[in-house]
Amino acid sequence: MASGGKKDQRREARERLAAQREAQARGARRRGRLLVGGALAAVLAAAVGVGIYASGSAGSGDSEAGDRPFVRPAHTAGEDGVVVPYGKEGAKDLVSVWLDPRCPFCAGVETGLGPAFKERADAGDYRVEYHFATFLDGALGGKGSKRALNALGAAVNEDPGKFMDYLQVLYENHPQKESDDRFGSTATLLDLADQVPGLRNPGFDKAVKELTYMPWVDRVSKAFYGSGKKGTPVVEVNGKEVDVLTGKGLETITPEAFGQLVASNRKP
């Protein structure tokens, strides 16, 4: 990139950022957290002189997989177990959710609608499939997205119901800012696991402390880039993306309204 064009590119990046903030204020629309936006765009604009962040490889963050062997958590689906399902395979409706553990708008979706997802899945109405991204580690620095996902892998390995409960606990205790890397602490992740009855045991603790599932985390992260999704959160009903954010901060539509969305997007 020629140095003479950096000032113009930075000005364009600031203009793009302002436009994104204005668009967020008008409605936040279906993705409350894009790969570009807020502090992320500012950091990247200052670092590389551009306002667009779309590189899958750059966003994956520094790997902690090292030479650890690949271990696929039990109760996962898809190639290499990159999908975490919950509910009966033959349920009449499929709800697919893409989340980054550090994303505050993802926290809004999961705390607002996650209990309804679990309730309807337990009733046999929905099958929920979770997909995860970890781009915020690479974009903002830190290890929280990947280490939280490693801990979630340890949870689903124990039991899908404990995974659902632990996911709720993590997002209920989510940092207010993406730049806060509190989930980078395995001690914090273990302390939060105390809120899920029966989750803490020597096997779970060892997997969280020793980052047992980090090679799996890397494959899950790569699958996100292969999906073509441009940010998180994303919610699909029977393969069709739906809007679940109201545009008022982290607020989501009600579980009742989501149920209507499911009914209207049900395949014949």
pLDDT tens per residue, range 196-215: 999 999 999 999 999 999 99
Determine the pLDDT at residue 64: 84
Rounded distance between C-alpha atoms, residue 266 and residue 268, angstroms: 6
Determine the pLDDT at residue 65: 80
Determine the pLDDT at residue 67: 87
Determine the pLDDT at residue 16: 57
pTM: 0.81
Determine the pLDDT at residue 223: 97
Determine the pLDDT at residue 178: 82
Distances, alpha carbon 268 to alpha carbons 30, 92, 229, in Å: 25, 10, 26
44 Cβ contact partners less than 8 Å away, ≥ 6 residues apart: 13, 36, 50, 51, 53, 139
**Collapsed DSSP state (helix, strand, coil) of residue 129:** strand
The pLDDT averaged over each successive group of 10 residues in the chain (268 residues) is: 53 55 40 43 34 36 79 98 96 96 95 97 96 94 97 98 98 89 97 98 98 98 94 96 94 96 90
Sheet with 126-132, strands from edge to edge, namely: 84-86, 126-132, 93-99, 234-237, 240-242
Which two three-digit tokens encode residue 219? 């494959």
